[in-house]
Amino acid sequence: MRELEQEALAAIREARDLEALKTLKARYLGKRGLLTQEMKALASLPLEERKAKGQALNALKEAIERALEEREKALVEEELRRALERERQDVSLPGVEVFIGGLHPITLMERELVEIFRSLGYQAVEGPEVESEFFNFDALNIPEHHPARDMWDTFWLEGEEHSLPGPLGEEARGRLLLRTHTSPMQVRYMVAHTPPFRIVVPGRVFRFEQTDATHEAVFHQLEGLVVGKGITMAHLKGAIYELAQALYGPESRVRFQPVYFPFVEPGAQFAIWWPEGRKWLELGGAGMVHPKVFQAVNEYRKSRGLPPAYQGVTGFAFGLGIERLAMLRYNIPDIRYFFGGRLKFLEQFRGIL
Ligand code: FA5
């Protein structure tokens, strides 16, 4: 029996896991276990011997049970300790950077400009990038074969099968093209609305042009249009002045020089004084809406059964390039970076929202 005891206790102490412990329990205490068999054999012993051996066997059974219990507790604890070790997390480790996108610098600049004009009471609207010849040229007093069309080298769409909705949901007239400026939205907006109003139109425009560090075939403009009774050139200058102040602070100034655009009279090109760089930035064209544009709008409205609405009013319009301002704002030396599709460039604007 001593042997049995020693063997059992040693085996239990060395059991590697709960499974092994279970096997040992069956081996000693199970229905056909070693100890159980010894107990059964008691019946055949003489009384005195039976009593003494019975006590000893009971003591051994208790000892084995206790040993099993202890070992089980130890194994469970061990397993828990190992699990904790395995799943340990070091909260002091530096985090893994999560990629979040950012806004494109042109979008950032565009939003900044729109916000400036919104604060001056302008509403922002958008027009289609595929445009008809009528809105991009004819209605803006640039008829076919007019030399002024050469001011804008155009990407034309091929074929006759395309159709495009006009400002009133009707089919737009004329051949289709990629708009060469945001000015066609002047006509679209006027056809569908009545004055007075103040709008800005941000958007992408296209020109069939050789590119260089300051010229792209795809770029962005912000158009402005204000129409109402008694609107004058002074209001135009005031609007551009407010833009300059908002962009470059109280030291900034504005400059207007006469220039020809078919859809304004008088027409001007304007520049803003950039105090930090100590230079004039040529931003775009502007002027008073040409009577012929109002006339084209009235005629269009009439053909759709709408009253003229553009009589006895005046208006000013401007159109400026957004890339130029973004290049200064973000210190970008070449306009071709914007849409060159290089991640290294774009990643610099990560997280700027
Ligand atoms: C126009 O597009 C006129 N629609 C502006 C206008 C609107 C005049 C309303 C009067 C009334 P222009 O072609 O000059 O004008 O272009 C305006 C501005 O767009 C330019 O001053 C310049 O800042 C920018 N721009 C023109 N061509 C390019 C180009 N290839 N790449 C980048 N920016 C350009």
Query: Residue 186: phi, psi to the nearest 5?
Result: -55, -50
- Please report how many Cα atoms fall inside a 13 Å half-sphere around the Cα of residue 200, on the Cβ side: 25
Q: Look at 95-99, 135-139, 154-158, 265-269 and tell me which has the smallest mean pLDDT.
A: 95-99
Higher confidence at residue 163 or residue 291?
Answer: 291
Q: Are 294 and 310 in contact (CB under 8 A)?
A: yes
Higher-pLDDT residue of 352, 17: 17
Residues lining ligand 1, judged by CB closer than 6 Å? 181, 183, 207, 209, 215-216, 219, 221, 261, 264, 267, 282-287, 317-321, 323-324, 335
Q: Which residue owns the Cα nearest ligand 1 atom 30? A: 215
Burial class, 140, CB count within 10 angstroms (exposed 0-12 / middle 13-18 / buried 19+): buried
Please name the amino acid found at residue 116: I
Is the per-residue pLDDT at 151 higher than 90?
no
- Tell me, what's the pLDDT at 29? 87
- Rounded CA-CA distance 168/304 in Å is 8
* Mean pLDDT across 150-168: 85
On average, the pLDDT of the chain sits at 92
Cis peptide, bond prior to residue 184, ω within 30 of zero: no
Q: pLDDT tens, 301-328?
A: 999 999 999 999 999 999 999 999 999 9
Q: If pLDDT is split at 50, 70 and 90, which confidence band does 50 have? A: confident
pLDDT attached to residue 300: 97
Report whether pLDDT(112) > 80. Answer: yes
CA 246 – ligand 1 centroid, Å = 21
Kindly give the distance from the C-alpha atom of residue 319 to the centroid of ligand 1, in angstroms, as a whole number: 6
pLDDT at res. 142: 95
* Coil vs helix vs strand at 205: strand
* 161, 209, 211 from 158: Cα distances, Å: 9, 19, 23
Per-residue pLDDT, 317: 98
pLDDT at position 28, please?
87
CA distance 231 to 121: 15
Q: Indicate whether 1 pLDDT > 80.
A: no
183, 206, 335, 336: residue to mutate for ligand 1 pocket, most atoms within 8 A of CB? 183
In the chain, % of residues over pLDDT 70: 99
Pairing of strands 123-124, 197-206: parallel
The conformation of residue 215, written as its DSSP 8-state character, comes to B
Q: What is the mean pLDDT of residues 322-340?
A: 95
- Provide the pLDDT confidence category of residue 59 given band limits of 50, 70 and 90: confident
Query: What pLDDT sits at residue 322?
Result: 98
Per CATH, domain 105-349 is 3.30.930.10: yes
Give the rounded distance of the alpha carbon of 49 from its chain centre.
91
Only one residue has tokens 């003489």, namely: 46
Ligand 1 centroid distance, CA of 224 (Å): 12
**Closest Cα to atom 9, ligand 1: which residue?**
318
pLDDT exceeds 90 at position 232: yes
Query: Is 108 within 8 Å of 322 (Cβ atoms)?
Result: no
Enumerate the domain spans of the chain: 2-87, 105-349
Is residue 351 pLDDT above 80, yes or no?
A: no
What's residue 345's pLDDT?
A: 94
> When comparing pLDDT for 284 and 53, which is higher?
284
Whether the upstream peptide bond of residue 128 has omega within 30° of 0, thus cis, is no
What pLDDT is recorded for position 35?
84
User: Residue range 66-71: average pLDDT?
Assistant: 88
Mean pLDDT of the 209-231 span: 96
d(CA 160, CA 229): 41
Is residue 353's pLDDT more than 80? no
Residues serving a catalytic function are: 152, 181, 207, 221, 264, 317
φ, ψ for residue 162, nearest 5 deg = -75, 145
Taking 80 as the threshold, does the pLDDT of residue 75 lie above it?
yes
Ligand 1 pocket, mutate which of 150, 219, 270, 292 (most atoms under 8 A from CB): 219
Quote the pLDDT of residue 305.
Answer: 96
Assess whether pLDDT exceeds 80 at residue 135: yes
By most ligand atoms within 8 Å of CB, the mutation choice from 137, 186, 222, 261 for ligand 1 is: 261
pLDDT of residue 5: 83
d(CA 260, CA 207): 19
Q: Which of 137, 154, 190, 165 shows the shortest CA–CA distance to 310?
A: 190
32 φ/ψ sector (left φ>0, alpha ψ -120 to 50, else beta):
alpha
pLDDT digits 0-9 by tens, 186-218: 999 999 999 999 999 999 999 999 999 999 999
DSSP 251-286: T--EEEEE---TTEEEEEEEEEEETTTTEEEEEEEE
Question: 181 CA to middle of ligand 1, Å?
Answer: 7
| pTM, rounded to two decimals | 0.76
Residue nearest atom 21 of ligand 1, based on CA coordinates: 284
